């Protein structure tokens, strides 16, 4: 993989973000997701790569495009695994809330865990605590470790957790320890990334969420030289069998960052759809001019780029919503 591919993938997330942002606040999450998926799939055709979707919109019989196993790119260039979430936060966009993004992760062929669509326990931290955490540790011990690594008092430490009934006990334990809790609704890719970027003020991401989002997050965490661990949480025998089909003898084995992303090289690209702490949302400036805010990272070089771009929709009619 190379720098050119990283920058080309930003064009893909930009297209998805602009298309889905036109549905912001309209109460139609499926239409927003379809717009993002169609724009992303169309833009992939122009990318020089031999890509294979390993995490996408579903199996072949579940999704008309960006399905698992679909070939992407023009058939030339590097052979890569592609993990996509054309619109991370469909409900967010439908309701006009914050932190929706279009995201892509890429790594060498065979490097990304082919995570099935099931729950996954996850924890992520920044580079100061890299190699010091364990998902098996009580959250109280992890808070002590990360506070020392980040040179913070526990009362100044922030743990970001998805606001769900399954996390109520976890939230109370963090509060009882004396750390700060930041709750979020949907969109745990951005939350996990926040734990690796000092200016967000987030120190730990922890909780149970989607496994596909976990692998995409792992690519970003690797690019940021952070650390992440995970464990699949099958809910029934069928899901447990899917884990074993992936080559996991124990469906609940601890997965390190290198298990999630086996290559030392990975690319992560994202464009904000609605306003967020990491990225601004798409802005419609009038006269068919839009503004996007994106991030693209590469693990091999450690490069992190924030890209602000203007787009003329009148020159890209395929991005316009037909009403």
| 73 labeled part of a ligand binding site | no
| 33 labeled part of a ligand binding site | yes
| 57 labeled part of a ligand binding site | yes
Query: Which run of H or E residues covers position 289?
Result: strand 289-298
| 71 labeled part of a ligand binding site | no
- Domains belonging to the chain, first-starting first, are 3-110+265-319 (3.30.540.10), 119-260 (3.40.190.90)
Q: How confident is the model at residue 320 (pLDDT cuts 50, 70, 90)?
A: low
Return the pLDDT at 312. 86
242-251 per-position pLDDT tens digit: 878 777 778 7
For the chain, helix, strand, coil in percent to 5 are 35, 30, 35
| 210 labeled part of a ligand binding site | yes
| 165 labeled part of a ligand binding site | yes
pLDDT beyond 60 at 197: yes
| 166 labeled part of a ligand binding site | yes
pLDDT beyond 80 at 321: no
| 164 labeled part of a ligand binding site | yes
Distance of CA 236 to CAs 115, 168, 261, Å? 16, 23, 26
**CA atoms 127, 132, 136, 139: torsion sign:** negative
| 88 labeled part of a ligand binding site | yes
140-187 per-position pLDDT tens digit: 999 999 999 999 999 999 999 999 999 999 999 999 999 999 999 888
Q: How confident is the model at residue 199 (pLDDT cuts 50, 70, 90)?
A: confident
| 188 labeled part of a ligand binding site | yes
103-126 per-position pLDDT tens digit: 999 999 999 998 878 899 999 999
Question: Could you tell me the pTM of the whole model?
Answer: 0.92
* CA 292/CA 11 separation, integer angstroms: 10
């Amino acid at each position: 993989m190379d720098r050119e591919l990283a920058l080309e993938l930003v064009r893909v997330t930009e297209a998805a973000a602009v298309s889905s942002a036109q549905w912001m606040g309209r109460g139609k999450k499926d239409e927003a997701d379809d717009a993002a998926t169609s724009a992303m799939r169309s833009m992939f055709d122009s990318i020089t790569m031999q890509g294979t979707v390993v995490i996408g919109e579903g199996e072949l019989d579940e999704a008309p495009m960006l399905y698992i196993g679909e070939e992407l790119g023009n058939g030339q260039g590097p052979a890569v695994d592609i993990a996509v979430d054309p619109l991370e936060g469909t409900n967010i966009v439908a309701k006009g809330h914050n932190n929706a993004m279009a995201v892509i992760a890429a790594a060498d062929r065979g490097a990304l865990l082919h995570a099935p669509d099931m729950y996954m326990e996850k924890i992520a931290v920044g580079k100061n605590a890299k190699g010091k955490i364990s998902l098996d540790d009580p959250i109280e011990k992890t808070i002590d470790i990360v506070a020392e690594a980040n040179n913070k008092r526990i009362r100044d430490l922030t743990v970001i957790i998805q606001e769900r009934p399954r996390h109520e006990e976890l939230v109370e334990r963090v509060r009882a320890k004396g750390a700060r809790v930041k709750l979020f609704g949907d969109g745990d890719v951005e939350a996990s990334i926040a734990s690796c970027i000092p200016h967000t003020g987030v120190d730990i991401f922890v909780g149970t969420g989607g496994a596909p989002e976990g692998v995409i997050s792992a690519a970003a965490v690797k690019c940021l030289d952070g650390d992440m661990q995970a464990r699949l949480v099958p809910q029934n025998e069928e899901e447990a069998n899917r884990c074993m089909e992936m080559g996991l003898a124990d469906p609940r084995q601890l997965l390190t960052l290198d298990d999630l992303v086996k290559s030392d090289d990975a690319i992560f690209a994202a464009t904000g759809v609605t306003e967020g702490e990491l990225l601004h949302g798409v802005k419609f400036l009038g006269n068919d001019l839009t503004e996007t805010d994106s991030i693209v990272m590469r693990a091999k070089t450690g490069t992190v780029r924030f890209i602000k771009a203007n787009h003329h929709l009148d020159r890209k009619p395929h991005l316009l919503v037909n009403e």
